[in-house]
Structure 1
Amino acid sequence: MANGTTEPFVVGSKSFTAVAINTAAKAGEWIKSKLGDFSRVDEKYSSHDLVTEVDKGSEKLIKNLIMTHFPSHSFLGEEGVEPGPAASAKALEAASDAEYLWIVDPIDGTTNFVHGFPFFSVSIALAFKGEVIVGVVYDPIRDELFVAEKGKGAYMHGKKTAVSLDATLAGSLVATGFPADREGALPINLRGVQAVAPKVRNLRVAGSAALHMAYVAAGRLSGFWEVGLSSWDMAAGALLIIESGGKVTDTQGKPYELSVRNVLATNGSIHEELQQELAKAEATGF
């Protein structure tokens, strides 16, 4: 492990974190090799939620590698689940009894990938009895690997990550997303955009929740919120932020857990202010 300390999360001689890192790197490399090379694009759920054969191939590669090391573990990946919020919640519920559950987004930012816009990531998290203990987000374009272990801090290429010091919304760069669910989540998030944009230094919508969360952990963004996400979009990112000294809740301010769909993630200092703006704009999704 990059920080040179002993591994707490080990089965036999196999480190969960080492497997997660190795798997994310391999998947990222494979995805990058396919950029601009896909022959067929399936549309799932809506025209904004594109999925390619690369998504499916990446998930298969990740699942095979993880299950080779830990055959008794459970696996929840985006590609194995029908599109839409109800199916996503149901899939998580079905897997929630698992002792060890790997939660994977094989490409977070598929739409970006399809268009050749270089902002997407591989997100791999491991939960033990419902709590995330390992989180890895890998950006293959920049070759940036963000890693966190519960109670041990978060790192990017061996350097400890820390959230930004911005104390107010006015001085903060904040990110959000435009959800694929045009009827439900999108109008709610747009209300949030309208309310928050004038209050912050600026707003970014780059199209990968996992990478946005990694950027909050690394201090590049001071906050991120989005309505209507799934567990695999944010499980790894949430641990990265917490282990970097930040705060992750739902948009009402309740503690983060795997079932959260409307997420608010910040450096901690601007958390309450951002939460209040979303509440005032009726943009929490609740």
Structure 2
Amino acid sequence: MNYSKELKVAKQAAKEASQIIRKYADKASFDIKLKGKNDLVTDADIASEQKIIEILTGEFPEDQILAEESNQKSSLPSERIWIIDPIDGTTNFAHTFPAYCISIALWENKEPKVALVLEVAHQELFTAVEDEGAYLNNERIQISENDNPGSSLIGTGFPYKDLDLVDNYLKLFKRMMEKTHGVRRPGTAAWDLCNVACGRFEGFYEYGLSVWDVAAGALIIKEAGGVISDWKGGDNWLFGQRIIAGNKSIHAFLMEQINESFEEKELTN
């Protein structure tokens, strides 16, 4: 199926939402509310999401919507559904610290078909359509071929809501510091996944993620030649909150290190 219209509309939605976010950022004046422990929402999140939904539903009124600040769901239907994160990296945005992203994905028959991640501060536009490759600002991208952990740069995210596994996480973090070239934590999982897709990171791991954090970035990684899974190597990464991504070798390395750092019951929800 041709998804060129869907990608075009997603780009327009991201462009207009980005303009809204940048206006808020330029004024550095917005209300910040606390949804939960260390979980923020700003006026810009809400305004951006409303604009994206308005544009998508205007063009595709029959499609369903799953969005961070509204229309949340615990599973996917077989029908077409747009999965939206209006600002991934809201804490960064609230502190005027780049990076922060718009993430938009179209899933159909419970599979990703179209993906877009726009890093707003630097205007990096990552896109992918199933079986058509992955792109950064219209230039084809692919994952790193480096299969040596010792010379690999790894991305991750720090837990901020669920702190029950912090001790194990720090154990894993120490392993990464010892066994890799370095670990980075930009603070936006959508962009982290895109950094794997374009070869800046060799791999990425995190727990405590939500569906809208990974729905777009995962397709971009796959279309760039990468591997993505949950912490046990399975397919429960969309709603499973635990994710590993990278090239084949680094993905296997990360899964091994994770399995040695966490107990069996902690590898899944």
Indicate if the aligned counterparts of 2:153 and 2:203 stay in contact, CA closer than 8 A: yes
1:12-43: CA deviation from partner (whole Å, max 9, x where unpaired): xxx11111111112212211121153332101
- Say which of 66, 72, 76 aligns to 1:76: 66
What is the aligned counterpart of 1:258 among 210, 214, 238?
238
| Counterpart for residue 233 of structure 1 | 213
2-side partners of 1:37 and 1:101: how far apart?
33
Q: Which of the numbers 189, 192, 200 marks the counterpart of 1:220?
A: 200
Say which is worse superposed, 195-204 or 66-75, in terms of deviation.
Answer: 195-204
Q: Secondary structure at the match of 2:220?
A: helix
Residues 219-248 of structure 1, C-alpha deviations (whole Å, 9 max, x = no match): 111111101101100010000000000100
CA–CA distance in 1 between the matches of 2:14 and 2:51?
Answer: 10
Distance (whole Å) between structure 2 residues aligned to residue 72 and residue 191 of structure 1: 47
Does residue 49 of the first structure (1) align with residue 31 of the second (2)? no
Alignment of 1:8 onto 2:6:
no
Q: CA deviation at 1:98?
A: 4.5
Please give the alpha-carbon distance, in whole angstroms, between the structure 1 residues aligned to 2:165 and 2:12: 34
Preserved CA contact (<8 Å) 1:247 1:266: yes
1:164 counterpart SS class? coil
Unaligned runs of 5+ in 1: 1-6, 82-87
**Structure 2 residue identity aligned to 1:173:** L
Query: Quick one: distance in 2 between partners of 1:115 and 1:285?
Result: 32
Matches of residues 95-134 of structure 1 in structure 2 within 5 Å? 96-134=76-114
Matched pairs, number: 265
Instruction: Using structure 2 for the length normalisation, give the TM-score.
Output: 0.93
**What are the equivalent positions in structure 2 for 1:1-286 lying under 5 Å apart?**
8-9=2-3, 15-35=5-25, 36-46=27-37, 48-80=38-70, 91-93=73-75, 96-184=76-164, 186-255=166-235, 258-282=238-262, 285-286=267-268
Q: Give the secondary-structure state (helix, strand or coil) at the position aligned to 1:125.
A: strand
Aligned-partner SS, 1:34 = helix
C-alpha offsets along residues 37-60 of structure 1, whole Å, 9 cap, x if unaligned? 3332101111x2211111111111
Contact residue 99 and residue 120 of structure 2 kept, 8 A: no
Cα deviation digits, residues 42-101 of structure 1 (max 9, x gap): 01111x2211111111111111110000011000000016xxxxxx7xx232xx225101
Q: Check whether the contact 1:226–1:264 (CA below 8 A) recurs between aligned residues.
A: yes
Cα distance between partner residues in 1 of 2:247 and 2:177: 18
Letter in 1 for 2:211: S
Structure 1 Cα separation of the partners of residues 126 and 165 of structure 2:
28
RMSD: 1.7
Equivalent AA in structure 1 for residue 10 of structure 2 = A
Between 107-116 and 138-147, the greater mean CA deviation after superposition: 138-147
Structure 1 residue 195: Cα displacement: 2.5
Please report the TM-score for the alignment, with normalisation by the length of structure 1.
0.88
Give the percent of matched residue pairs that are identical in Structure 1 and Structure 2.
34
User: How far is 1:136 from its partner?
Assistant: 0.3
Q: CA deviation at 1:273?
A: 1.0
